[in-house]
Every structure is written in C-alpha cells, then in structure tokens.
C-alpha cells in the first residue's frame, strides 16, 4: 500500500537566513545611487535637448527673417522706381511718345535682368510706347495694373499674363512665365497723362531665394517656400508648386517644440513644428511675414522655411543617450563600491541620501559630503562627488558646443546682412544699404541744422561700352569708377551703386555749391583718365540738397534725379544742380 508523501513539520523546516548587512547596503545604497544618477542624467540630457531644439528653431527663423527682408526690398525698389519716373515732370514734358522716352525705358529694361516688359499707356489704356514692341498700340484698360496705376502706385501679386508670356521664352524651370506688376500714374503739370507699367519675371523670387539659402542648406535639407496673403503657395523649391497645390497645402501653423514633447504651445509666425501634406512626420518650420516698405508693396506674403526634425534636431537624442549612459555607468561603479561597506553606515547613508535629494532638486551649493566612518564609504562619497562633477562637466561641454553653434550662426547672419546691403560687383553699398545710411544722415541733418547733399551719377553711353566691348569690360569700368569715387570721398561720405551704371554719393555737412564743385571735379577726373580697351569715358551728374521743409530724403533724391536728367538732356559730361 502506497503511503502519502510526508511533509516536514514546522520544527523541521530550515530557518531562512536574513540578508547580510553587506548585501542590504549594496541593494539599498546601489539603488539610491542609480536612481540619483539616472535622474541627474535625464535632467541634464533633457536640458541639452531643449537647448539644441531652441537653437535649431532660432537658426531656421533667422533664415526666414532675412529672406523676407530681401524679398520685401525687391518689391519696394521697382515700385519706387516707377513712382519716381512717373512724377518726373521733365521726362513727360513733350508727351509719352517723345523720342527720349523709349531709350530711357530700354535702358531700364536692359539694366534689370528680370524685367520682361516696360511701357506707357495713355489714360484710355492705349499703349503708346514699350520696350520690346509686344503690346504697342494695344488697349490694356481692362488690366488691373492699368486701372490701379491711374490712381496711385500699384504692386500686383504674382500672376500669369498670357498675352505677354506667349511672346517670351518659358522660365528656367520650364513653366510658363509668371509676372509681378508695378505701375504708377504719369503726371505733367498736375495732370494725369497715363500709366507707366513694369512687368517683372517671377524668376526674380526664385533666384533671390536660391541665393539666400545657407551654404549648408542641401546637407541640412532646408527648403524655402512663399505663400500669398490667402495662404496659397506661390513658390516652392525648383518651381515644384503643382504637387503641393494638388495636395491642398496651405500656410502651415506651427507649434513650439518642448523638451518633454508635452505642453506644446501654438505660436504662428515663429519657428516650430508643423504638419505638411507631402510627408507624415512634422517639419521644423519658420513662418515670417514680409515687412512691407510701403503700402503698395505690402502683398501679405509669407516666407516659410522648413527642415526635417530628424536633421534639425540631430544630436539632441544622442546628447540624452550619452548623458544617460554616463550616469548609468557611474551608478554601476558606485553600486560596486557601495557593496564593500559593512558597518556604521546609517549616518553616512542618511547624509548622502539627503545630499542626493538636494542635488536632484537643484538646490544651490548642494554637494556630496565627505564621510569618515569607513574607507569604503569614503570611496563611495568620493565616487558620487566625481560622478556629479563629471555630469556637470558634460553639461558644460555640451553648453560650449551650443555656444559655438550660436557664434557660427551669428557670423553667418552677419555675412548675410553684409551681402544683402552691398553691391557684389563694386563692393559699394547697394540700394538697401544706401537707404539705411540716408535715413540716419537726414535725421542728423534735421536735428543739427547742418547741410546735406547728394550727387546722382550716370555713366554716359555705357550701353555702347557693353555692346562694343562686352559686359566683362563694362564691369571693369564700373569697378574702376567705384574706386575713383571712393578715393575722392571723405570717411563720413557714402557712395552706392543703385543698379546698372547709376551711382549716388551722400555728402553730410556739405552745402550744395560744394557738392556741385565736387561733382565737377569728378567729371574732370573721370574724363581725363584713360582706361584700357575703352579709352576715355564721361559721366553726367545731378546735385541736390536737403531743404528745411523736406520730411525725409525722398524729395531730395527726386530733385537729384531730375538734375541728372537735365544734365544728360543738355549734352552729358556735365553737372547740374537743382536745389
């Protein structure tokens, strides 16, 4: 007969031995150290991740901001040009079909690489003169640029104009030409004679944005877009608008990234995360509205710059992982050392625990205390102190990396600002840089009551130089002229190239008669200087000065332009003052 299994009685059950003090210390102290190390590592890592994300967002926003400023300047300059020419009394004195009108329009057309059509129409909309004889004799009274241009300066949004596009070659992207319209009324003795119109190729925006892209844009996968005031996309990289339009892409709304990924705040207009129709992962996106220079050029455009988050935040997750790995490694080392402690550790454990909590909470001046109960505990306290210093050192090293990236960004932005305000051919100021100097000079002159004059200069028959000897020789002529002007000026003066062969000199503390003398000296200096290949050339100059009743420098510039026109009309190679 089989007997049932026999179970030992309680008295026969072996007693379970408690953990040794050494084991308890190893478990308790090792766990505590590991927890502190992980918390500190995560805290430092998340802080570094947040800093890297913020720097990436600031960098992208700066690119969008600078691109928006340059585009705004590009819209303002043609609108001001047609406004000034439309108000030039001497130009229209003999009517819109006068012999001197067409050469002037053709010169404007040739000096602006993106100009596709410049012409004038009478008050009934009949085109009297245009540069390439495309619309001459046709009626444009039903077109928006003519209707608005009868009343005031007008800048039209980008659009197609098939009557003009059919007569021109397609854009470099292969798409039909699109245009921006600029127009202004033509006045003579207070009477409106007609409208001056300028059609600018949309290729201008593409080339401008491509030139403004940072040198690292391809590697960093940075892309620039433009949206109009309704949120519709009007420019995409390489002219690829159709795929985005087919997806219904509108102006994106951004969310500011946070280190934890939670509690994001919607902040349109700043660099942040945004969803795009052509990809599921969000992009780091910067949205900047164009800062309009005047009411006419305020088209409500937005420049949008985007970058994949995987590229923008590269290094952020790595920084967290490295900080965590360093903390875990230090914690494991501390746990091994903690297992050597055997006795009289309660007080030291309490003090170390309190210190760890203070360090976790970020209490100022919190440090790991030095203990003296045993050599093992002394080693443990030193290890914890070294671990804390190591993590702090890692934090400082990562902050140094962030600082270096910030400095590089600042240098890049300074270089971009310099390029945006200087003429690449001559090294002189361009229109944007000159306008900034003019505002300051006018303010100082009005405040102090001192004189302020300008000299507008145009190279005589410069088109003949380009046509005869080539644009390379023409560029050399412009560079030598720039050096001659700079050599004659004072340190407080400013000289700029406005475009083509036109220059302007700003002369603070200079009355008009002195400015006229300087202009005549420049005429003699230029005419007497024989140049390689082209020989002698001449210039014409217009001189004007700031009047007490001038609100800003615009009237002074108009008078200077009118004086220059008078000098060229009178035979060129002379200076005329219109004070």
Catalytic residue IDs: 501
495 within 8 A of 485, measured Cβ to Cβ: yes
Structure tokens at 38: 């992980």
Q: Hey, how many other C-beta atoms are within 10 angstroms of the C-beta on 552?
A: 13
Please count the CA atoms within 13 angstroms of the CA of 298 that sit on its side-chain side.
Answer: 5
Give the DSSP letter string of 201-243: ETHHHHHHHHHHS-TTHHHHT-EEEEE-TTSBEEE-GGG-HHH
Give the DSSP letter string of 486-545: HHHS-TT-EEEEEETTEEEEEEET--HHHHHHHHHHHHHHHHT--BTTTB---EEEEEEE
From first CA to last CA, the distance across the chain in angstroms is 136
Count, in order, helices (H) and strands (E) of the chain. Answer: 16, 17
Structure tokens at 250: 């509108």
Residue 106 φ then ψ, to 5°: -65, -35
150: nearest Cα among 125, 181, 129: 125
Helices (H), 291-370: 309-312, 316-338, 346-361
527 Cβ contact partners less than 8 Å away, ≥ 6 residues apart: 536, 537, 538, 539, 573
563 within 8 A of 544, measured Cβ to Cβ: yes
Structure tokens at 569: 């009309």
């Amino acid at each position: 007969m089989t007997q049932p299994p026999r179970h030992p009685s309680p008295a026969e059950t072996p007693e379970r031995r408690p953990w040794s003090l050494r084991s308890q210390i190893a478990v308790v102290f090792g766990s505590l150290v590991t927890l502190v190390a992980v918390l500190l590592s995560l805290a430092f890592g998340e802080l570094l991740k947040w800093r890297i994300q913020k720097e990436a967002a600031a960098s992208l926003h700066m690119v969008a901001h600078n691109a928006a400023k340059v585009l705004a300047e590009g819209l303002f300059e043609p609108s001001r040009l047609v406004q000034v020419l439309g108000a030039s009394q001497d130009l229209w004195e003999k009517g819109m079909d006068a012999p001197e009108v067409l050469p002037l329009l053709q010169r404007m057309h040739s000096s602006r690489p993106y100009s596709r059509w410049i012409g004038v129409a009478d008050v009934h909309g009949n085109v009297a003169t245009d540069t390439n004889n495309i619309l001459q004799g046709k009626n444009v009274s039903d077109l928006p640029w003519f209707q608005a241009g009868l009343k005031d300066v007008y800048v039209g949004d980008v659009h197609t104009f098939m009557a003009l596009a059919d007569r021109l070659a397609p854009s470099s992207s292969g798409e039909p030409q699109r245009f921006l319209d600029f127009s202004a009324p033509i006045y003579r003795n207070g009477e409106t004679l007609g409208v001056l119109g300028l059609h600018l190729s949309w290729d201008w925006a593409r080339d401008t944005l491509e030139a403004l892209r940072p040198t690292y844009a391809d590697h960093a996968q940075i892309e620039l877009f433009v949206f109009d005031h309704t949120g519709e996309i009007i420019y995409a990289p390489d002219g690829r608008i159709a795929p985005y339009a087919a997806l219904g892409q509108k102006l994106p709304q951004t969310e500011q990234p946070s280190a934890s990924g939670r509690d994001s705040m919607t902040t349109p207009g700043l660099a942040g995360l945004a969803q795009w129709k052509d990809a599921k992962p969000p992009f780091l996106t910067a949205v900047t509205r164009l800062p309009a220079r005047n009411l006419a050029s305020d088209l409500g455009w937005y420049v949008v710059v985007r970058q994949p988050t995987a590229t923008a935040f590269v290094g952020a997750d790595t920084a967290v992982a490295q900080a965590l790995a360093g903390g875990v490694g230090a914690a494991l080392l501390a746990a091994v050392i903690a297992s050597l402690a055997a006795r009289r550790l309660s007080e030291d454990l309490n003090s170390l625990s309190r210190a760890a909590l203070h360090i976790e909470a970020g209490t100022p001046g919190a440090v790991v205390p030095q203990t003296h109960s045993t050599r093992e505990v002394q080693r443990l306290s030193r290890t914890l102190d070294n671990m804390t210093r190591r993590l702090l050192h890692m934090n400082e090293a990562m902050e140094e990396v962030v600082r270096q990236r910030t400095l590089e960004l600042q240098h890049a932005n300074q270089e971009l600002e310099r390029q945006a305000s200087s003429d690449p051919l001559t090294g002189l100021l361009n229109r944007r840089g000159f306008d900034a100097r003019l505002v300051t000079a006018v303010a100082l002159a009005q405040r102090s009551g001192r004189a302020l004059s300008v000299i507008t200069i145009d190279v005589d028959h410069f088109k003949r130089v380009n046509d005869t000897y080539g644009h390379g020789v023409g560029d050399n002529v412009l560079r030598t002229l720039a050096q001659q002007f700079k050599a004659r000026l004072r340190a407080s003066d400013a000289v700029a190239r406005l475009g083509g062969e036109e220059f302007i000199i700003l002369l603070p503390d200079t009355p008009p008669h002195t400015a006229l003398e300087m202009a005549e000296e420049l005429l003699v200096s230029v005419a007497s200087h024989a140049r390689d290949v082209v020989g002698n050339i001449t210039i014409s100059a217009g001189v004007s000065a700031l009047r007490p009743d001038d609100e800003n420098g615009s009237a002074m510039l108009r008078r200077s332009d009118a004086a220059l026109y008078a000098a060229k009309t009178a035979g060129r190679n002379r200076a005329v003052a219109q004070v």
